[in-house]
A and B are shown apart, each in its own frame.
Chain A
Amino acid sequence: MANGNETQAEERTRYWRANLKIIGGCLAVWAVVSFLLSIVLGPTLNAFHLGGYPLGFWLAQQGSIYVFLIIIFFYAWRMNKLDIEFNVDEE
């Protein structure tokens, strides 16, 4: 019995580590798109164009919002899958 609990605790730790890894990856994309590409490098990227949009301007006022949306839906999909892999999903 004690052994079984031990394994469950280890499982839970592995689940949490996997979650932290996914969060880390998602937040890296979040930070790169909004802070690096849209702000720090925004004026430089304005030299490129997307139709009539200078690229930096498009990222700051349109593109970053689309990326945020993709991140949240990706995280929801990935975590719901991870819950099932680790058998911790809600019944």
Chain B
Amino acid sequence: MTLQILSLIVVGLTFALYIGIAVWARTGSTSEFYVAGKGVNPVMNGMATAADWMSAASFISMAGLIAFLGYTGGAYLMGWTGGYVLMALLLAPYLRKFGKFTVPEFIGDRFYSKAARVIAVIALLVASITYVIGQMRGVGIAFSNLLNVPLTAGLISGMVVVFLYAVFGGMKGITYTQIAQYVVMIFAYTVPAIFIALQLTGNPLPQLGLGSTLAGEETYLLEALDNTLVDLGFDPYTGVAGMSMTNMFLLTLSLMIGTAGLPHVIVRFFTVPRIRDARKSAGWALLFIALLYTTAPAVGAMSMWNMIDMVQPGEVGDPEGNIAIEDLPEWTDRWQETGLLGFEDKNEDGRIQYYNEDNEEFHQMAQEEWGWEGNEIVTLDRDIIVLATPGIANLPNWVIALVAAGGIAAALSTAAGLLLAISSAISHDLLKGVFMPRISEKREMMAARISMAAAILLAGYLGLNPPGFAAEVVALAFGFAAASLFPTLMMGIFYKKMNNYGAIAGMLAGLLVTALYIFIYKGWFFIPGTNMLPDQEAYWLFGIGTGSFGAIGALVNFVVAFVVAKMTAPPPQHIQDLVESVRVPRAD
């Protein structure tokens, strides 16, 4: 059986499973549609949250991102997991006690203001729509690079499947498919990782293998990786490189606050029966996330080692130390076709050299002494670290099929969660909450389904014709969640005297400052060429990168909200009573 047919069968089976769940989990009421009737078991909810949270980027790109950063890549690992501590301690139990359907609904009620609710909806829509475009791209990448199916066909089949279970099943359908998708995803991620760890270190657990010695040798894997990278003119893997310590600090903090403020994740904690379940469920979510997030750094470092070991099997500088082009393994051909990997024999010696050509001293030395004319792996997309792992480790074809199904599961599960957040913001917050308060439950459900369908079409269209700025807007999504939603929610619970004016001023100030900072370096509304300053460390304010600015935006929100609240009338008594009741689990 060919690889493509096998892969299509595996992916087809997972699709059939998702559709089967959709049929079983049809919804009848708005409570089922928005929050799965608040009847989800906390462990199951943890699993669904993990799938909801871990996107195509976590599955396909994160290990590669870490592989090229080394130690400082820990900013992403800590940032995307440490946010759950904030969510579990500062938001989840209280918002569950509030007991309504959406995040903007809490902001609107707590700050007795429709304007506050609308601003929260705008922040939610910007963050969620930009995010969902990335997921649709992820579906396309998995289909076109791993399955050789044209991007359009792959994307449309993904859209049809999401449509079936999200539009008809709502949160209930999404929750149970996410549980299935988590299982597919984690299996697809860990199987190749276990194989690769076993081959390299003899230890099947990637988390332990990364700290072990190379199989049959005395040298530790990380030590060998450090030494080889330094021999090739790079920075050592376990040392500080790639970003400054200030940026590592602020990026970690921004990602943590942003994670805690993402509405599609927060709303998952509305689906459990009790407050004690919400507290525990956050722990289960992080446990299921940690299975992948502690494996990713091992996949990154081990694939990096495998790749360098392939190109440089002998001594650095020995004319025969590098691999001859005709000896390149078969899997490299496949990836050269996709354009994610490219070689160019610059010095025409029939061999491939990979080294840090930006290290001028090293480059000059290598040129004079060894006749190297530049780095000859001219294209090396970071996504290849995960996508090509089964090929690098010589794993059987069914593992490649599994990785494709896992990547698609990661993208679809996150897309569905985002689509639900988008549709409930439109039907519940805008229509029912602001414009048509007397709409019947039946018509509200219809509106939710229609807006979900429209969001799927929009996301699919943007996935096929990605705006040039697709990669940049992710910084904006996290920045917005960090600068607007997280501080406002937190002050709504922990600062009883926070009032409507303070919350509105704080949210607007946080959003504007963050948008402004990103636009200055990335271009106004991401239009190329309109940036006022080059996006380089020398030009950043105090050396703060655009992705690390969310923490500053959050600080601005806190300060502005506090000052404005001090200068204006405190909230009415019934609002202060609402805060009191949210703080206590037992219903009055």
B contact residues around A88 at 8 Å (CB): 584-586
| Contact A35 B252, beta carbon cutoff 8 Å | yes
| Contact A57 B238, beta carbon cutoff 8 Å | yes
Interface centre among A61, A69, A83 (most CB of B within 10 A): A61
Contact A69 to B283, CB < 8 A, known contacts A57-B238, A61-B66: yes
Min CB distance B64 to A, Å, is 15
B contact residues around A56 at 8 Å (CB): 71, 238
Q: How far, in angstroms, from A69 to B291 measured CA to CA in the complex?
A: 11
Q: Closest A-chain residue to B587, C-beta based?
A: A90
| Contact A83 B283, beta carbon cutoff 8 Å | no
A6 on the B face (CB < 8 A)? no
User: Interface extent on B, as a size class?
Assistant: 35 or more
Q: How far, in angstroms, from A38 to B75 measured CA to CA in the complex?
A: 9
Write out, one digit per residue, whether chain A residues 80-91 have a CB within 8 A of any chain B CB (1) or not (0).
100100011111
Min CB distance A23 to B, Å, is 5
Q: How far, in angstroms, from A57 to B211 measured CA to CA in the complex?
A: 11
| Contact B286 A68, beta carbon cutoff 8 Å | yes
Q: How far, in angstroms, from A53 to B93 measured CA to CA in the complex?
A: 37
B contact residues around A68 at 8 Å (CB): 81-82, 84-85, 286, 290
A21 on the B face (CB < 8 A)? no
Min CB distance A30 to B, Å, is 5
Contact A30 to B85, CB < 8 A, known contacts A12-B580, A52-B212, A89-B276: yes
| Contact B583 A16, beta carbon cutoff 8 Å | yes
Write out, one digit per residue, whether chain B residues 267-301 have a CB within 8 A of any chain A CB (1) or not (0).
00000001110011011001100100110010000
| Contact A90 B586, beta carbon cutoff 8 Å | yes
Residue in contact with A80 in the complex, picked from B82, B213, B279, CB distance below 8 Å: B279
| Contact A46 B239, beta carbon cutoff 8 Å | yes
Q: How far, in angstroms, from A76 to B587 measured CA to CA in the complex?
A: 19
B140 on the A face (CB < 8 A)? no
Among the listed stretches B20-28, B100-108, B217-225, B327-335, which one makes contact with chain A, having 4 or more residues with CB under 8 Å of it? Answer: B217-225
A contact residues around B276 at 8 Å (CB): 76, 79-80, 83, 89-90
A contact residues around B287 at 8 Å (CB): 69
Residue in contact with A61 in the complex, picked from B73, B245, B279, B584, CB distance below 8 Å: B73
Q: Closest B-chain residue to A22, C-beta based?
A: B89
B88 on the A face (CB < 8 A)? yes
B188 on the A face (CB < 8 A)? no
Q: How far, in angstroms, from A37 to B248 measured CA to CA in the complex?
A: 13
Interface centre among B78, B207, B275 (most CB of A within 10 A): B78
Q: Closest A-chain residue to B87, C-beta based?
A: A72
A contact residues around B294 at 8 Å (CB): 61-62, 65-66
Q: Closest B-chain residue to A30, C-beta based?
A: B85
B350 on the A face (CB < 8 A)? no
| Contact B279 A75, beta carbon cutoff 8 Å | yes
B240 on the A face (CB < 8 A)? yes
| Contact B585 A90, beta carbon cutoff 8 Å | yes
Q: How far, in angstroms, from A32 to B256 measured CA to CA in the complex?
A: 15
Residue in contact with B586 in the complex, picked from A23, A71, A73, A89, CB distance below 8 Å: A89
| Contact B280 A76, beta carbon cutoff 8 Å | yes
Q: Closest B-chain residue to A23, C-beta based?
A: B89
B contact residues around A54 at 8 Å (CB): 222, 238
Contact A26 to B85, CB < 8 A, known contacts A52-B212, A64-B78, A89-B276: yes
| Contact A52 B220, beta carbon cutoff 8 Å | yes
Q: How far, in angstroms, from A87 to B585 measured CA to CA in the complex?
A: 10
A contact residues around B280 at 8 Å (CB): 73, 76
| Contact B585 A83, beta carbon cutoff 8 Å | yes
Q: Closest B-chain residue to A43, C-beta based?
A: B240
Q: How far, in angstroms, from A66 to B287 measured CA to CA in the complex?
A: 9
Main secondary structure of the interface of A (DSSP, over half): helix
Q: How far, in angstroms, from A38 to B346 measured CA to CA in the complex?
A: 41
| Chain A residues numbered 30-57 whose CB sits less than 8 Å from any CB in chain B | 30, 34-35, 38-40, 42-43, 46, 50-54, 56-57
| Contact A79 B93, beta carbon cutoff 8 Å | yes
| Contact A64 B82, beta carbon cutoff 8 Å | yes
B contact residues around A69 at 8 Å (CB): 283, 286-287, 290
B57 on the A face (CB < 8 A)? no
Q: Closest A-chain residue to B42, C-beta based?
A: A76
| Contact A52 B583, beta carbon cutoff 8 Å | no
Q: How far, in angstroms, from A54 to B207 measured CA to CA in the complex?
A: 14
| Contact B212 A72, beta carbon cutoff 8 Å | no
| Contact A79 B279, beta carbon cutoff 8 Å | yes
Q: How far, in angstroms, from A52 to B9 measured CA to CA in the complex?
A: 41
Min CB distance B36 to A, Å, is 19
A contact residues around B82 at 8 Å (CB): 30, 34, 64, 68
| Contact B207 A43, beta carbon cutoff 8 Å | no
B249 on the A face (CB < 8 A)? yes
| Contact A46 B238, beta carbon cutoff 8 Å | yes
| Contact A52 B88, beta carbon cutoff 8 Å | no
Min CB distance B276 to A, Å, is 5
Write out, one digit per residue, whether chain B residues 500-544 have a CB within 8 A of any chain A CB (1) or not (0).
000000000000000000000000000000000000000000000
Q: How far, in angstroms, from A57 to B586 measured CA to CA in the complex?
A: 44
Q: How far, in angstroms, from A52 to B459 measured CA to CA in the complex?
A: 45
Min CB distance A87 to B, Å, is 8
Q: Closest B-chain residue to A29, C-beta based?
A: B85
B74 on the A face (CB < 8 A)? yes
| Contact B88 A65, beta carbon cutoff 8 Å | no
B162 on the A face (CB < 8 A)? no
Q: Footprint of A on B, CB under 8 Å? A: 66, 71, 73-75, 77-78, 81-82, 84-85, 88-90, 93, 207-208, 210-213, 220-223, 238-240, 245, 248-249, 252-253, 256, 274-276, 279-280, 282-283, 286-287, 290, 293-294, 297, 580, 583-587
Q: Footprint of B on A, CB under 8 Å? A: 12, 15-16, 19, 23, 26-27, 30, 34-35, 38-40, 42-43, 46, 50-54, 56-58, 60-62, 64-66, 68-69, 71-73, 75-76, 79-80, 83, 87-91
Q: 4 smallest A-B Cβ distances: which pairs?
A: A60-B74, A52-B220, A76-B279, A51-B211
The contact sample of 10 A-B pairs, CB cut-off 8 A, is A60-B71, A60-B77, A65-B81, A66-B290, A71-B85, A76-B276, A76-B283, A79-B276, A87-B586, A88-B586
